[in-house]
Structure 1
Amino acid sequence: MIAAAALPLLVAAVWATLRGIEAAGLTEGPGLEHAWLWAPVGALLVVQTVLFACERPHRAKASTTDAWHVAVVVPVFNEDRAYLRAALTALAAQTRRPDAVHVVDDGSVHDYTEVRAWWTDHARAAGIRTTWQRTANRGKRHAQAQALKEAGNPDIVVTVDSDAKLAHDALHEILQPFADPRVQGCAGLVLAANHRSTLLSRFTDLYFVANQLVDRSALSPLGAVMVSPGSLAAYRASVLTDNLHTYLTERFLGRQVQFSDDSLLTLFALLKGRVVQQPTAIVLTAMPERPGHHLRQYLRWMRGSTIRSLWRARYLPLTHPAFVAQVLRWFLQLLCTGAICWLAVLHLRHSTTPSPWLIAVPLALGYAQALRYLTVRRDDETPEYQLVTWLLTPLALLWAGTVLRAVRWYAIATCGNTDWGTRAAGPEVSLAPS
């Protein structure tokens, strides 16, 4: 399946590159934009596709991973009770069960008394040590730190969001890369649990899954994954314990940073060794179902991404693959935004009909990239439904290229606002009763 997805993307990327080279000799007219846009974009996709084809699930001996003490940390803040219960149920049903699960309620407005009582009994029956604390609201990082105090001295710490339902073998899979002593962190593959709820949650599932299998899959063979998702990530315990003070006290422009915790933990891991992705470690999480929630979440992510990119530039060696990838991201962001603005001015000024290549090339590349979405085999979906979702690629491209691009630039301009921005008064996504 990897080769099947990589080959069409490679063909499309080479085609885009050749179109750019062909247009490079033009000095005016609609061919100009192809030279400085499609050639570098296509060349980058060629490299990404080759690296994607190199990604393989890591494998370790069972005797190795079973010997580790694995602690799962679950911070909770105003989570929907049904989602939280589903997340905890999935932890107890793992093929490789965690040794301990530490839940911290970070001052939620909800009363989780019934869920807590049920989980305490359920975990005991499953042979899992568990703790459940309620603290004053101080943010996700402090909740994780409080859970870490209860964990004792684990070998591996797994961070799981309170709405994240792990596939039955996700914990087993995410532990596999740590048989390599150089690996300090591992990212799971995040899918939308509620992709059937709205059109927005459906095509954002397509967009985000494809991005994970493009960007992270390209960086994983280099040991340079830049963000491990909060829904499912694993780290050697020393990554957290050695950097706990910095993690809890990070400040930017004089303000305490309350978000981007996942990318900061990943940066700590990168400074100690390799960070990889295990695409077979699958987790289902709740995606925003309404535009307002979606945009606030993305704004928070992009503000965090801006801060984190500055930290990578400051602390990573110039030769580190993650530093190089960060520079390429800046370049492509400026290039694509500049292309959109330039083309708008050019065609408005000359009242010319846009070249069909301006639609055909990005559409072909988008469809080719999104083919990776079809390589994921889901227990909750049929291949036919996934195929129809893949056909929504133009909608995802339009949304990402216009609305999300504007939000990203706004986030860069307002990155000094370090508030969380969602779920202050309660859950924004609820699990409908079955």
Structure 2
Amino acid sequence: MLLEWSHWLSSLHPEELLTFLWALILVDGARYGLLKIAFALGDVLRAYFHAVVGRGPKPEPHVPSVCALLVGYNEADTIAHTLKSVHGSYPRLEIIVLSDGSTDAMESVSHDFARTHAGVLVMARPHRSGKSSAMNFALQYTEAEVIVVIDADSELGPEALHRIVQPFTDPRVGAVSGTVLGRAPFTNLVTWLQSYEYLNAILVGRLFAARMNLLGIVSGAFGAFRASTLRAIGGWDVGPPEDLDLTLAMRRKGYRIAAAPYANAFTDMPTTWYALLRQRMRWDQSGIIRNHCRKHIDMGLPWSASFRWSDFVLTAGMWITNIVCLIGIWIWMIWMACTHGVEMWKPLFTLYVGYLVIELAQAMTIVYYSNDKPRDAWLCLCFPIVPIYQSVLLVERTWAFLREAFWRASFEDNFVPWHVRRTTWKW
């Protein structure tokens, strides 16, 4: 089979080969391959320069007052571990735990912890209102300068709070994205692939996006927000995804979104394909179409009163890579099926080999930037399977976009209770 494919590949003219690899070369190759390699090489040279001539004086650490906000629903099994990882990890810290209508022992477990640990406020709402409403409710009980949102089933890594607040020394920064990683990456193939994806998209991807002022999301699982900015824009709107919506709202007000690549939080991941696809359906239904194409569409319109070139590049990039290229891929697939029939495996295998090269380059950048190189080097060994994994998610993403575009499926998501959804403007 490989011999047959190599003979077929060698018989192609360059323009024929381009018909198979146009998306790889123009979009993914440039965006995920060459750009990351260029950034990594620049950082290697910078590190070498500092090693030769020495670094300047180390700035004093920024230590603003911080409120760690832990909102959860039925998180009795995990909230104690989360509190242990947060409490005492930062000098000027208060913790607010809000049980949002939980029916398990989350409130009592949190109270047990608060009785023996100072600086922990535990509250409970009798009825579930959704994460956005719950966080807005809790916001009125703190005067801290920085609000750090942490999922009630996540655990912070060492120095995570110190690291996530450092970018706030720049008054233009409104929010900082932490790095969310998988808690048990080697449980099975599903968690392994997700862990690699988190490293690629969050650790490396958001680091580069923030440097170019193109970061458009702060993870709801672990993110920091300047409290004054958060209050000025009215807090969180009803999600999902409330994290993307809030981040875009801050960008529209002219604030920069920074990344703290080594401020780590470890979270649970879906362990089955069914659970993973359900999670991604929820994320994808409410992300691109609802926010980038409806609610915040003016970020990509040059005649908008709040137009900024960085917002335009961010939004146009989302439109092109997630919608235009998605449509182009399906048109290409149909054309290939019609013109090649049973021989279609040859161009598909060619595309797979091309993506292997890109994934190898990305794996190398992950290991370079990793602060746990042995673990992440093992994680990156799954890169030959990643193109297949991404193909599965492409099918899921297509269906999610169609459901949101034609039926506004995100407004039927039980992540937000019905009594809240029915009063929300349907973007």
Q: Give the TM-score normalised by structure 1.
A: 0.78
Contact 1:156 1:235 in 2 (8 A): yes
Equivalent position of 1:131 in the other structure: 122
Equivalent position of 1:275 in the other structure: 257
Distance 1:402 1:419 in 2: 21
Letter aligned with residue 78 of structure 1: N
Equivalent position of 1:119 in the other structure: 113
Distance 1:195 1:363 in 2: 21
Superposition RMSD on alpha carbons, in Å? 3.1
Distance 1:278 1:384, change over 3 A: closer
Distance 1:394 1:69, change over 3 A: same
Q: Which shows bigger deviation, 299-308 or 310-319?
A: 310-319
Equivalent position of 1:254 in the other structure: none
Q: Residues 254-304 of structure 1, C-alpha deviation per residue, up to 9 Å, x if partnerless?
A: xxx431111122123222411011101111011112233222221121122
Pairs within 5 Å for 1:35-434: 35=22, 37-45=24-32, 46-51=34-39, 61-62=60-61, 65-66=62-63, 68-79=64-75, 81-94=76-89, 96-124=90-118, 128-151=119-142, 153-244=143-234, 247-248=236-237, 257-270=238-251, 271-305=253-287, 306-310=289-293, 311-315=295-299, 317-333=306-322, 334-351=324-341, 352-353=343-344, 354-355=346-347, 356-374=349-367, 375-378=369-372, 382=375, 385-390=378-383, 392-421=385-414
Letter aligned with residue 131 of structure 2: K
Letter aligned with residue 70 of structure 1: V
Contact 2:177 2:258 in 1 (8 A): yes
Letter aligned with residue 101 of structure 1: I
Letter aligned with residue 312 of structure 1: H
Distance 1:344 1:396 in 2: 20
Distance 2:35 2:314 in 1: 12
Contact 1:213 1:372 in 2 (8 A): no
Contact 1:193 1:287 in 2 (8 A): yes
Q: Residues 173-199 of structure 1, C-alpha deviation per residue, up to 9 Å, x if partnerless?
A: 001101111111100011011323332
Distance 1:293 1:98 in 2: 38
Contact 2:185 2:192 in 1 (8 A): yes
User: 1:54 offset after TM fit, Å?
Assistant: 6.3
Distance 2:114 2:249 in 1: 33
Contact 1:60 1:177 in 2 (8 A): no
Q: Residues 373-414 of structure 1, C-alpha deviation per residue, up to 9 Å, x if partnerless?
A: 4342349x7456334344543443333344444444444444
Gaps of 5+ in 2: 1-8, 48-57, 301-305, 418-427
Distance 1:231 1:384 in 2: 24
Distance 1:226 1:258 in 2: 16
Contact 1:235 1:269 in 2 (8 A): no
Distance 1:115 1:206 in 2: 33
Distance 1:421 1:393 in 2: 30
* Percentage of identical aligned residues: 20
Distance 1:378 1:36 in 2: 33
Distance 1:345 1:223, change over 3 A: closer
Distance 2:276 2:364 in 1: 24
Distance 1:283 1:53, change over 3 A: farther
Distance 2:40 2:135 in 1: 32
Count of residue correspondences? 381
Distance 2:402 2:204 in 1: 22
Contact 1:74 1:103 in 2 (8 A): yes
Letter aligned with residue 270 of structure 2: P
The alignment partner of 1:41 has SS state of: helix
Distance 2:116 2:360 in 1: 44
Distance 2:256 2:74 in 1: 34
Distance 1:229 1:40, change over 3 A: closer
Q: Residues 336-378 of structure 1, C-alpha deviation per residue, up to 9 Å, x if partnerless?
A: 4423432343244343452353221122112322334434234
The alignment partner of 1:417 has SS state of: helix
Distance 2:407 2:194 in 1: 24
Letter aligned with residue 328 of structure 1: G
